[in-house]
Amino acid sequence: MRRHSLAVLPGDGVGPEVTRAALTVLDAAQDRFGFGTERTEVPLGADHYLETGTLLTDDVVDQLRAHDAILFGAIGSPRVTPGILERGIILALRGAMRQAINLRPVRLYPGVPTPVRGLTPQRCDLVVVRENTEGAYVAQGSRVHEGTPAWTAVQESVNTWYAVERAVDFAFRLASVRRGRLTLCHKTNVLVEAGRLWTAVMDSVGERYPEVETDYVHVDAMCMHLPVSPERFDVVVTDNLFGDIVTDLGAVLQGGLGVAASANLTFEPDATSMFEPIHGSAPDIAGRGWANPAGACLSLAMLLGDLGEGEAAAAVEAATAAVLADLPGLAGEAMGASTHDLGERVAQVLREGSAPEVEGSLMVQLAQVRGMMGR
Name which of Mg ion, ligand NAI, none residue 90 binds, using a CB cut-off of 5 to 8 Å depending on partner kind: ligand NAI
Nearer residue to ligand NAI within complex by CB, 203 or 284 = 284
59 is catalytic: no
Pairing of strands 274-277, 261-265: antiparallel
List the one residue from 244, 306, 309, 311 that touches Mg ion (CB under 5 A). 244
47 is catalytic: no
φ/ψ bin of 159: left (φ > 0), alpha (ψ from -120 to 50), beta (otherwise): beta
Alpha carbon 365 to its chain centroid, in Å, reads: 15
User: Number of residues in contact with ligand NAI, rule: CB under 6 A?
Assistant: 22
- Rounded CA-CA distance 19/10 in Å is 6
Which secondary structure element, helix H or strand E, spans residue 323, and what is its range?
Answer: helix 310-325
Does the protein bind ligand NAI through residue 285 (CB under 6 A)?
A: yes
List the one residue from 291, 304, 346, 350 that touches ligand NAI (CB under 6 A). 291
58 is catalytic: no
Q: How far is the CB of 293 from ligand NAI (least distance, A)?
A: 7
List the one residue from 71, 75, 251, 322 that touches ligand NAI (CB under 6 A). 75
Does the protein bind ligand NAI through residue 18 (CB under 6 A)?
A: yes
Does the protein bind ligand NAI through residue 82 (CB under 6 A)?
A: yes
Is 244 in contact with 236 (CB distance < 8 Å)? no
Does the protein bind ligand NAI through residue 279 (CB under 6 A)?
A: yes
- Rounded CA-CA distance 267/167 in Å is 10
Does the protein bind ligand NAI through residue 251 (CB under 6 A)?
A: no
Closest C-alpha to 156, from 143, 167, 145: 143
215 is catalytic: no
List the one residue from 25, 164, 257, 327 that touches ligand NAI (CB under 6 A). 257
- Rounded CA-CA distance 307/290 in Å is 30
- Rounded CA-CA distance 298/242 in Å is 23
Coil, strand or helix: which one is 95? helix
Which secondary structure element, helix H or strand E, spans residue 70, and what is its range?
Answer: strand 69-74
Q: How far is the CB of 91 from ligand NAI (least distance, A)?
A: 10
- CA-atom Rg of the chain in angstroms: 20
Q: How far is the CB of 276 from Mg ion (least distance, A)?
A: 12
Q: Which of the stretches 174-182, 209-217, 232-240, 288-296 binds ligand NAI when contact is defined by CB under 6 A?
A: 288-296
248 is catalytic: yes
- Rounded CA-CA distance 77/175 in Å is 38
Name the residues annotated as catalytic: 137, 187, 220, 244, 248
Q: Which residues bind to Mg ion, rule: CB under 5 A?
A: 244
Q: Which residues bind to ligand NAI, rule: CB under 6 A?
A: 14, 18, 74-76, 82, 86, 90, 257-258, 276, 279-285, 291-292, 295, 331
